[in-house]
Amino acid sequence: MPSRPLQPHDEEQLRGGLLAARSPAGRALGWVARDLAGLKVGIALGGGAARGFAHVGVLEALRRAGLTADYVAGTSIGAAVGAMYSLGSTVEEMTAVLQRLGNTIGFGWRSPRQRCCPAPGSAPASVLSWATC
């Protein structure tokens, strides 16, 4: 992990005895602490075309929970999603890439929401409420 100089607000927090875990300095300190304690976190993403969307969902759920992976490994689509995640791609960016990839190679992949919910106006309102999708 590259070193970054402490920002003035980081120094102020350290003097007070508390450094926010979500700040760049806090994440760097957490990484060092996990390394010293032997508690690094790794995630392995498997292959299988449609799993790509599931991988993106899991990574987003982990992000929302405040967990980040120190190491990422993957096979096939898992390697592609892992690479995008490691490069800092957003969920929207990863999903767009997966959709373009699927359309390019002829799978016509759609996200789970697109598979379950018809386009507005294509089904009678009595059959499906668009708001539930």
- Do residues 102 and 109 touch, judged by C-beta distance below 8 A? yes
Contacts of 104 (CB under 8 A, 6+ apart): none
- Do residues 76 and 104 touch, judged by C-beta distance below 8 A? no
| SS3 sequence of 120-133 | CCCCCCCCCCHHHC
pLDDT tens digits for 39-98?
888 999 998 877 888 999 999 998 888 888 889 999 999 999 999 999 999 999 999 998
pTM greater than 0.85 (yes/no): no
